[in-house]
Structure formats: structure tokens, C-alpha cells
Amino acid sequence: MGVRVPFLGIPIKGINNPILVLDGIIEPLNIFVRTEAIGQFIRQFNEAIGFQCVKEEEHWDSSIPFSSYYIYVTEKLANDAIRNCEVPMSEDEKFEILHLVDEAIFPQNSLVKALRTSQQLNSPILFRDGEEPIRIQLEPIKIKVVSSYPFDGNPKYLDNSLIHLAGIIPVEYVESKARNLIEFENGLWSAIYSLPYLKINNWKWIWDLNWLTIIEFSN
């Protein structure tokens, strides 16, 4: 199953940091959990198109990062609705509505914008809110969710040097593909949010909306 993965990028309140979105491949385990966000999407999408085309209840497969699954399944629901109700709508119009509904559910959320934009462009991207996304050439990664933890977005320690480093890592990685930058960002997650330092080389902290998720990744 192909998904969009927010691979690099640390959220810091009040700072517009870049996010690197990669194509991900994951084997879903069908561990379904009810989530209000997808229910909200169904109601608001139906209202936006003026038809009750999305009727089925949809749950989150928690073996997939929540943000990645939200982006994947909501486009699928939109495509099904447009087809089933024969709604005359172009791809651009569809994504315009998806972005509007995303904004209603997750106001001013750069992660959702980044993932949806990557989906719309069908490409890995380097994204900074308010700027043109940069398409990049990087191979898909295989991922598996290790665990997830609630995230309140409140840093435990922060200074200007950490802010600068958090912002430069996604950009440097696109240019150099240096694996040590992935480990370095894991260290920043630990420093800023007092998270356990990941000692396994192919484990990675990622921002996952209201969660912080550890993924295992490989090329």
C-alpha cells in the first residue's frame, strides 16, 4: 500500500519549518480504531459537494501512521463519492475541496498541507507553508509502525541553535542524502521534546499530527 510519509521535519510552535514528504510502502495489518477526524471529513465533504455520497463509516488502520492514513483514505473516499454519485469534478477541483476540508478539520496545520500537496503532485516534496513546494527525486521507503505516543506540541527545551538545526536538516538531507542527518534529527526530537533517544539505526521519530510515531524504515 502506498502512502505519504512525513519523514523529516520537527514542528515548533511559531516556527515555519520545512517538511520532507516521501513516498512510503507499508503492509497494512487492519488494526482498526474509530477516529472522529475521518467522520468529520465524511460530513464536511458531503456538505461541500452537496450530495450524501460518502455514507460508510471509516476507521483508522492504526498499523499506519495516522496522518498518512488520513490523507490516503480521504482521497479514496472522495474518489468513490465522485464516481458513485457521478459528480462532474476535475482533479484540480477535487483537490481544492480536499484542501478546504483539511483546513476545516486541521486549521493551519502545515503537516496536513504538506502531505496533501505531495499527494496532489504525486511526488515526494520539500514543503514549507506559504512557499512553492519543491519536487524531489527520492526512492520510496518501506515503513512499519513501531509505536505512537500522544503529542501536545510543547517543547521541553528550546533555543535558537536547536530551532536552526531543526529547520536545516530536511533541506540538507535533500541535497546530501546523508543518513547521519536522520540520526541527528532523532537526537533533536529527544533534546526538544525529552523523547527517548532511538538507538536502532533504522528507527525514526516522525510528526504524526496529535501523535509522535516511531517508524522502522528501509529502502
| CATH code of 39's domain | 3.30.230
In a domain, 25, yes or no: yes
Whole-number pLDDT of residue 57: 67
In a domain, 108, yes or no: yes
C-alpha cell at 109: 496545520
With a cut of 80, say whether residue 131 has pLDDT above it. Answer: yes
Whole-number pLDDT of residue 207: 98
With a cut of 70, say whether residue 209 has pLDDT above it. Answer: yes
In a domain, 131, yes or no: yes
Average pLDDT, the chain: 94
In a domain, 14, yes or no: yes
In a domain, 50, yes or no: yes
User: Domain limits at 32?
Assistant: 2-151+204-218
Whether the predicted model's global pTM rises above the 0.75 cut? yes
Calpha distance 10→35 (Å, rounded): 24
Helices (H) and strands (E) in the chain, counts: 6, 9
In a domain, 167, yes or no: no
Whole-number pLDDT of residue 59: 81
With a cut of 90, say whether residue 186 has pLDDT above it. Answer: yes
> What is the tally of structural domains in the chain?
1
Mean pLDDT confidence for 7-16: 96
* Residue 130: CB atoms within 10 Å: 7
The CB-side HSE value for 28 (13 A sphere, CA atoms) comes to 16
In a domain, 86, yes or no: yes
Reported as a single tens digit per residue, the pLDDT across 63-111 is: 999 999 999 999 999 998 888 888 888 999 999 999 999 999 999 999 9
Mean pLDDT confidence for 35-63: 85
In a domain, 139, yes or no: yes
* Residue 24: CB atoms within 10 Å: 24
Query: Which strand (E) or helix (H) includes residue 149?
Result: strand 141-150
